[in-house]
Structure 1
Amino acid sequence: MKEIRLFCPATIANLSCGFDVLGLCLDTIGDEMVVRKIVEKGIRISKIVGADLPFETEKNVAGVAAMAMVSGLDLDFGFEIDIYKNIKAGSGIGSSAASASGIVFGINELLGKPFSIKDLVPFAMEGEKLASGSAHADNVAPALLGGFVLIRSYNPLDIIRIESPEKLYATVIHPQIELKTSDARSVLKQNVTLKQAVIQCGNLGGLISGLYTEDYDLIGRSLQDEIVEPLRSMLIPGFDSVKTKALEAGALGGGISGSGPSIFALSKGKHTAEKVAKAMSKVYDEMNLKYEIHVSKINAGGIKTIKILN
């Protein structure tokens, strides 16, 4: 195998009550990436389409993740990367994670899969560290593994993949503003009250239980954030109205996607998810704020191979 072309999916992280420890993989939104073997050692980024991102390997999340992966390998060749960005940077649906997870997946395939998929997560996390200052896994893990992913522990890294209920759909609306993860993290408090912690733990446990048992009502009741959303929602235009209209249209629940500014809602069934999309869109239409909106089934497989060149 000399070259591989990949679909690198968008993701939703935090999922209200799962800050830095819970994420899901989307099916209809994502970047594409081509990874090929080259004679020269090292990592070279040769093409970036759709975004103004650095070509320098050490300044690009894909380059950093790739270097972390190959640094311990005795290779007499290198890799070249073409990146086709469809996920806008700062959108809150895992733009950096798509690049970081895509490159390590592609290199692993070209090397004959010496690493398991879970083994790739720490390498991809190094790309996330460059993007946000924090080596979190709640975007890269679902991008690689598909479905829902719980990061039970970061030290040591302990990742649990959870199947999505069959009828669960996500609606994501992205107001056309950029909100950097580092800026969104700067508004967070370093300490929470015992009451907040107890409520958040209950919601996280309820959400995980709802996913395993396909209890859609329990999923909806558990999509509540006591800690992060009250602080970050102030950075997102019309957040309260968008969320309220989504719930009125039949969404199970929703909140901030990742660090924002995208807002997500989960629904039972595609028809309801599309009604929710119309309701969310109407809010921004009335505000004369440009946006993108997506309706997606949960992606069970993660990164997808589009084409292989031997």
Structure 2
Amino acid sequence: MKSVKAFAPATVANVSCGFDILGFAIDAMGDYVEVFRKEEPGLKVISIEDDGGKLPWEVEKNTCAVAIQAMLDDYGQEIGMDIALKKGLPLGSGMGSSAASAVAALVAANRLLGDPYERKDLLPFAIVAEKAACGAGHADNVAPSLLGGFVLIRDYHPLDVIKLHVPDSLYCTLLHPHFQLNTSDSRSVLRDAIPLKHSTIQSGNVAGFVSGLYQEDYELISRSMRDVIAEPYRAVLIPGFYEVREALKAAGALGMGISGSGPTLFALSKGAEKSKEIAKAAEEIYQNIGLGVDVYYSAINTRGAYVLEENK
């Protein structure tokens, strides 16, 4: 094999009540990575497109290269690969941008080697890349981007990741307002200690949300989309958060929350048409607020990352 090109989808992490433990993939957009085999050992980033010149090219800093190097270290052979990244996701958007890059790189490199790793076995290498990119090796973006659908991270020691049921009619609307919110700022406002009352409420909502997915009970999903741990502190960093939430609920959204650390917001709904109506309502409310926004609506991506092209 001379080269392999792969795609990895955008993701929503936290999913309201599932702070750092829930995530899902969407169909609307993602990143593309092509990996080329070369004779001399070592990795090299040969191109980065559509990043506005912001991403690092150094192998030890670029998430694609970090992920592949972690895999090759485990593989135990010195192999040469060149990496070409095309961004389909905005940086720092809360849509799993760094995760999608790392996952697409791993899927492409794994195929280039003849698929020595099962899909789930690539996850630890993607987590290494997330730690390099964000300072914390969370799996709630990389796991759904790699595996597709809704994913629950039950534990990290040892890593225990569970794919959840996805109702066929569940759709997502994504709202990416035109302002930047640093992950460090979103993290800094969180509290180190959680009151027992809030822990109990959050646990009930996580259990209700997962049950709602399996029972395809949209009312239960809606009732469970309440975050009492992170959202109350992060919402103040996002202009118009509460006005947007009320408008989307009125348009038929099951619920709305912050995607990852923001500023992107997400809303879940039943059916594609309702998702379109929510997207229209979002555009109108942001126009009233006076803030630009990119709006996407999408089915849940149950496939995860996949190979697009193989050149032999």
Global fold match (TM > 0.5): yes
- Which range moved further: 268-277 or 110-119? 110-119
1:237-295 per-residue CA deviation (whole Å, 9 max, x = no partner) reads 11111111111100111100010000000000000001111111112112221221110
2:148–2:303 CA contact under 8 A, matched in 1? yes
User: What's the offset of the Cα at 1:79?
Assistant: 1.2
Partner of 1:41: 41
Mean CA deviation greater in 280-289 or 253-262: 280-289
What SS does the corresponding residue of 1:260 show, helix, strand or coil?
A: coil
2:11 match:
11
Equivalent positions of 1:228-307 (< 5 A) are: 228-307=230-309
Does the CA contact (< 8 Å) of 1:163 and 1:300 recur in 2?
A: no
Task: Give me the TM-score of the superposition, normalised by structure 1.
Answer: 0.98
How far apart are the structure 2 equivalents of 1:293 and 1:57? 33
Pairs within 5 Å for 1:119-268:
119-268=121-270
Alignment match, 2:104: 102
* 1:116-151 per-position Cα deviation (integer Å, ceiling 9, x unaligned): 111111100111112221100000000010000000
Distance 1:183 1:58 in 2: 25
Per-residue deviation at 1:221? 0.7
| Unpaired segments ≥5 residues, structure 2 | none
**AA in 2 matched with 1:125:** I
Q: Secondary structure at the match of 2:74?
A: coil
Query: Cα distance, 1:166 vs. partner?
Result: 0.2
8 Å CA contact 1:177, 1:261 repeated in 2 = yes
**Structure 1 letter corresponding to 2:156:** Y
Helix, strand or coil: the match of 1:72?
Answer: helix
Deviation at 1:303, TM superposition (A): 0.8
Mapped to 2, the partners of 1:284 and 1:254 lie a distance apart of: 15
The equivalent residue for 2:114 is 112
Q: How far does the alpha carbon of each residue in 1:206-246 deviate from its partner, in whole angstroms, 9 at most, with x for none?
A: 00001111111111111100110000111111111111111
Distance in 1 (CA, whole Å) between partners of 2:101 and 2:185 is 21
Partner in structure 2 of residue 83 of structure 1? 85
Match of 1:227, SS state, is: coil
| Structure 1 unaligned residues grouped into runs of 5+ | none
Q: Residues of 2 paired with 1:198 and 1:35: CA distance?
A: 46
TM-score by length of 2: 0.97
Report the CA distance between 1:182 and its aligned residue. Answer: 2.4
Q: Is the 8 A contact 2:61 2:133 kept in 1?
A: no
After TM superposition, give the deviation of residue 304 of structure 1 in Å. 2.3
The C-alpha deviation readout for 1:38-63, integer Å capped at 9, x for no partner, is 11212111110000211111111112
Q: CA deviation at 1:2?
A: 2.1
**Structure 2 counterpart of 1:127, one-letter code:** A
Q: Equivalent residue of 2:76, what SS?
A: coil
Match of 2:29 in 1: 29
Distance in 1 separating the partners of 2:148 and 2:132? 23
3-state SS of paired residue (2:47) = strand
Residue identity opposite 1:68 in structure 2:
A
Q: How far has the Cα of 1:183 moved from its partner?
A: 2.3
Q: Give the CA RMSD over aligned residues.
A: 1.1
In structure 1, how many angstroms separate the alpha carbons of the residues matched to 2:288 and 2:5? 40
1:11-59 Cα shifts (integer Å, max 9, x gaps): 0000001111100001121111111211121211111000021111111
SS in 1 for 2:152: strand
In structure 2, distance between residues paired with 1:8 and 1:36: 17
Q: Which amino acid aligns with 1:247?
A: K
SS at match of 1:59: coil
Shift of residue 76, structure 1, vs aligned partner: 4.3
> Mean Cα displacement is larger for which, 181-190 or 194-203?
181-190
Report deviation, 1:111.
1.2
Once residues 179 and 62 of structure 2 are traced to their aligned partners in structure 1, the CA distance between those partners, rounded to angstroms, is 22
